[in-house]
Amino acid sequence: MPGTDHTHHESDDGGGRPTRRTAATLALVTLGGLAACTDTGTSPRGSEAGDRTSDGGGTSTPRTGDVEVLAEGLEAPWSIAFHYEAPLITERDSARLLERKPDGSLRTVATIPGVTPQGEAGLLGIAVRDGALFAHSTSADGNRIQRFEITGDPGSLGLGEATTLLDGIPSAANHNGGRLAFGPDGKLYATAGDAGDRDAAQDVDALAGKILRLEPDGSVPADNPFPDSPVFSFGHRNPQGIAWDEDGTMYASEFGQDTWDELNVIEAGKNYGWPRAEGIAHEDGLVDPRQQWHPADASPSGLAISHGTIHIAALRGERLIDVPLDDLAASTPRLVGAHGRLRDAVIAPDGSLWVLTNNTDGRGSPSDGDDRLLRVSAG
């Protein structure tokens, strides 16, 4: 039923409905390893505290890395994008779009009108293209994607009037998706969570539980997999990270319910399983994730790719997860617990990796301090 799925949100600390598992799965967990693409079910939640194995033989020893603080004092930040060299940052609850100036100070470019924050909803992802800002936000009538002309020069940027490209995307206090990114094909991609309505994720006529694909003017691309529909892929629970490698392959990170978070390779028209499956299922007609993690070790949000590595910002896991493109079943955690919850990861124009923390959204520990924009070493 809509609105009844309240387990494993971004800050899930345990609990949830029982999940299907087989004797074969339990045997694999007992042996302490999960072979790539051979799992036949899900592992028990009791293994979350001590078992960080992914579907590819486990994560490597956590690594640390050099970190530079680029900005401080952010409040529930959600997304980073660049207008030329100028970094732009969204705050979910205040609906402010901020510009980081070269001296590290922050100025308010604009407050996005009509945003109604609630729980995990509010001002979410942004993307920039051809002098325009594209923003994913929650209004009183649901989630929407809007376009704004960017005015002025760096240090004094502003926004023009809003043009709504797509609205009526289901919203809720949780599972809103919210990420925006332009693909190498020039199309605008958006993630949409199931908004608590599980069945909608399998309904290709609904916008919830999907990855969407639009032209920059909001029209539906002629080569979308479903005629006259912005739906690109379906069967998603709460995807929050999307990026492409140099070959044009698309990757997405996704919150599971209470057993498996996912890294998926996204293809047009494919079904990624939710709610029929969570994690690797080996069911006909469903695309399995390339790697899965227990929510306590992940809760993956923003995702970026550089120099042959996928970088995933993890909330509940409080870490940056590095996945090599040449071995999607392997991963290495970094910055574990060092900066609290991590919301977004993006590659800056100079090729460096920037990361947003997310400790002031009511989910983080007070000891983690305020939220910051970080520059992190490549690895």
Which residue pairs from 33-37 have beta carbons closer than 8 angstroms and sit at least 24 positions apart in sequence?
33/57, 33/58, 34/58, 36/329, 37/280, 37/288, 37/329
**The predicted structure's pLDDT at residue 42:** 27
Name residues whose C-beta falls within 8 Å of residue 80's C-beta, 6 or more positions apart in sequence. 87, 88, 89, 126, 344, 346, 354, 356, 373
Q: Which one, of 263, 248, 247, lies nearest residue 59 by Cα?
A: 263
Residue 190's nearest CA partner among 199, 200, 177 is 177
Task: Kindly report, residue by residue over 283-294, the tens digit of the pLDDT.
Answer: 999 999 999 999
302, 346 Cβ separation under 8 angstroms: yes
Q: Does residue 325 come out as left (phi exceeding 0), alpha (psi in the -120 to 50 range) or beta?
A: alpha
- What per-residue confidence (pLDDT) applies to 370? 87
356/89 Cα distance (integer angstroms): 9
Can you spell out the DSSP letters for 301-329?
A: EEEEEETTEEEEEETTTTEEEEEETT-TT
- pTM of this prediction? 0.86
Before 275, cis peptide (omega within 30)? yes
Query: Could you tell me which residues are beta bridge partners of residue 146?
Result: 135, 164
Supply the pLDDT for residue 10: 52
pLDDT tens series, the chain, 379 aa = 333 333 444 543 333 322 322 322 322 222 222 223 322 222 222 222 222 334 433 455 666 569 999 999 999 999 999 999 999 999 999 999 999 999 999 999 999 999 999 999 999 999 999 999 999 999 999 999 999 999 999 999 999 999 999 999 999 999 999 999 999 999 999 999 999 999 999 999 999 999 999 999 999 999 999 999 999 999 999 999 999 999 999 999 999 999 999 999 999 999 999 999 999 999 999 999 999 999 999 999 999 999 999 999 999 999 999 999 999 999 999 999 999 999 999 999 999 999 999 999 877 665 566 899 999 987 6
Give all domains of the chain, ordered by start, each with its CATH number: 65-376 (2.120.10.30)
Q: Which of 246, 285, 282 is nearest to 20 (CA)?
A: 282
Residue 305 CB partners (closer than 8 Å, separation 6+):
243, 244, 245, 251, 311, 325, 347
Q: What are phi and psi of 27, to 5 degrees?
A: -65, -40
User: Dihedral through CA 74, CA 75, CA 81, CA 83, nearest 10?
Assistant: -60
* Three-state secondary structure string covering 192-208: ECCCCCHHHHHCCCCCC
**Parallel/antiparallel/unpaired status of strands 300-306 and 158-169:** unpaired
In the sheet with 332-334, reading across from the earlier edge strand, the strands are 300-306, 309-314, 319-324, 332-334
**Looking at residue 368, what is its pLDDT?**
61
Q: Give the residue carrying structure tokens 């709610």.
A: 275
Q: Are 254 and 203 in contact (CB under 8 A)?
A: no
